A = this chain, B = another copy of it.
């Protein structure tokens, strides 16, 4: 398919979290490489031909330099695909945002979302991501699950009502940084969106989070479609299934991506795929370029296939037929 996207005539709609082309930290090492400024990050992202957009995180640093962000967007021609509320990098959110036991923090979580929604609009984007990684708990006997979930849903609802023209999309993840996150699986994410009950509330499926949660990402796409066409955004990366390793797309899994892309197409997903990875020891730009190259190559495999032939196999419910299809797609054998 060919779509005209801003200044780029792209076959694919691939984006990246801006920070991913730069250095990153883990809990042991504060910096595996020297930090880069906003301009340098934009230039690095723009140097990857397959990318047409960037996703931003509304950190204090970014919020303090919106004019620069606009200049970088103009000079690179990159589009803002989504802006994520920063509910996770600041110590104040350590014990939760929308579900905090402190009413002032719950208020602040809503306000930060509204502010991010306004910023998104200002940057020409109608998609805001909420990743409530700090909303959850670590210990047994540490939480009143009922009242905290109530606060969480109420806060998201209030934020959604701020501007119905902005899609507010919730990213689920089993765990990390909490050992237990409230919005943890595709099932609880759907339940929450139904409870929020606002038309502009949807779900981000992060491919790696789905694997971490012992989901088959293709099936999760089907579930989001079945329960109200709730899929609003896709994050993509790879991991070994037991942790959110945030690795280069395609570096571990192969067939799961093909089935995932087939179901995205089959259910009519026409949004972006945003590369979301942590290249601790690699050059960020090069690692992101790798992900984009894998994405394109894996989608090419599907482009060459006949989707109705795939659907026919899905309906046989036959492991051997599934295996034959997979081998033909991947190895042409």
Contacts and interface: CB of A to CB of B under 8 A. Distances in A.
Interface of A: 24-33, 88-91, 93-96, 100-101, 133, 137-149, 174-177, 179-180, 185-191, 213-214, 216, 218-219, 222-223, 225-227, 240-243, 245, 247-248, 250-256, 258-259, 262-263, 278-283, 286-287, 290, 293-294, 297-298, 300-301, 310-311, 313-327, 330-331, 333
Contacts of A186: 187-188
B241 A177 contact: no
Given A144-B311, A314-B141, A282 B191 contact: no
Contacts of A321: 142
Contacts of A250: 323, 326-327
Nearest to A142: B322
Nearest to A220: B145
Contacts of A95: 281, 317
A320 B283 contact: yes
9 contacts: A138-B245, A140-B258, A140-B326, A142-B318, A145-B219, A175-B243, A190-B191, A243-B243, A287-B320
A321 to B, nearest CB: 8
B219 A180 contact: yes
A310 B298 CA distance: 22
Given A27-B27, A144-B311, A251-B326, A318 B282 contact: yes
Nearest to A149: B226
Residue from A27, A133, A283 whose CB has the most chain B CB atoms within 10 Å: A27
A247 B28 contact: no
A290 B223 CA distance: 30
A326 B315 CA distance: 32
Number of copies: 4
B96 A317 contact: yes
Contacts of A89: 28-30
B28 A282 contact: no
A278 B331 contact: no
Contacts of A240: 179, 241
A333 B324 CA distance: 22
A227 B191 CA distance: 8
A326 B140 CA distance: 8
Residue from A89, A140, A185, A255 whose CB has the most chain B CB atoms within 10 Å: A140
* Shortest beta-carbon contacts, A-B, top 3: A187-B187, A145-B222, A254-B254
A327 B294 contact: yes
Contact of A241 (B241, B255, B282): B241
Contacts of A177: 26, 28-29, 280
A220 B175 CA distance: 15
Nearest to A186: B187
Contacts of A314: 141-144
A95 B29 CA distance: 12
Given A145-B218, A297-B333, 16 more contacts: A24-B27, A26-B176, A28-B177, A29-B89, A101-B315, A138-B280, A140-B252, A140-B258, A142-B314, A143-B219, A143-B314, A242-B243, A251-B326, A282-B318, A287-B323, A294-B323
